[in-house]
Amino acid sequence: MKNTEYIAKVLVSEEQIKARVSEMAAEVNAHYREVGADELIVIGILRGAVVLLVDLIRELDMPLKLDFMAISSYGGGTTSSGNVRVLKDAAEDIRGKHVLIVEDIVDTGNTLQCLLQLLQAREPASLKVCALLDKPARRKVDIKADFSGFDIPDEFVVGYGLDFNSLYRDLPFIGVLKPEYYAK
């Protein structure tokens, strides 16, 4: 039994996620067919995007290389500190390659903006972003994912890879965490 005691409500159900991930995979496939990509480098942003990454790549219909990066801007809190740090860099050489970043959520946009600048300097043929969640109410920079799952309100969410203090990543849905739990 999953620990759902501190979940206030389910924001996005498991069924909705499965359907939208399939739709996003079809969008990604169509885009890379259109640009004539014969191979794709998929960079998953650890740890939150791992669940989405696994489900997404199983539905991609082209050869791909898988890599990971770990970026931190939250520390142990519930809001971004604005200080973006690369904890683990990608190993693949992306120069001249088509690259898809898989991210769990676009919040303020600061982390994604820094990540895009870092990777763009490595001269990929193209650089796109696939994110499960978008929280536009918190955006501080003008940025958005190329392939996006769900727009969500400004609430603290967990599940399907997203966590609070490393818990709740295993929930099959996106849930809103009760404020009294994380405001302690």
Domain presence at residue 118 = yes
pLDDT-above-70 percentage for the chain:
94
> Which CATH number fits the domain that encloses residue 46?
3.40.50.2020
6 within domain boundaries: no
The answer as to whether 146 is a domain residue is yes
Contacts of 52 (CB under 8 A, 6+ apart): 21, 102, 104, 130, 132, 149, 160, 161
Domain extent at residue 96:
17-152
pLDDT of residue 184: 66
Give the single-character DSSP code of 14.
H
Task: Give catalytic status of residue 107 as yes or no.
Answer: yes
Q: Does residue 51 lie in a domain region?
A: yes
Catalytic residue among 107, 146, 151, 163: 107
What whole-number distance in Å separates Cα of residue 21 and Cα of residue 44?
15
Asked if the structure places residue 78 within a domain, the reply is yes
Q: How confident is the model at residue 85, as a pLDDT?
A: 85
Whether pTM exceeds 0.75: yes
Q: Please give the sequence-ordered ranges of beta strands (E in DSSP) within 29-159, or none if there are none.
A: 40-46, 64-72, 85-88, 98-106, 126-134, 147-151, 157-158
Interval 104-133: pLDDT, tens:
999 999 999 999 999 999 999 999 999 999
Taking Cα atoms as reference points, which of 71, 65, 82, 47 lies closest to residue 119? 71
In a domain, 167, yes or no: no
Is the model's pLDDT at 37 over the cut of 80? Answer: yes
| Residue 145 within a domain | yes
Number of domains, the chain = 1
Q: Please check whether residue 7 lies inside any domain of the structure.
A: no
- What pLDDT, on the 0 to 100 scale, is given for residue 4? 87
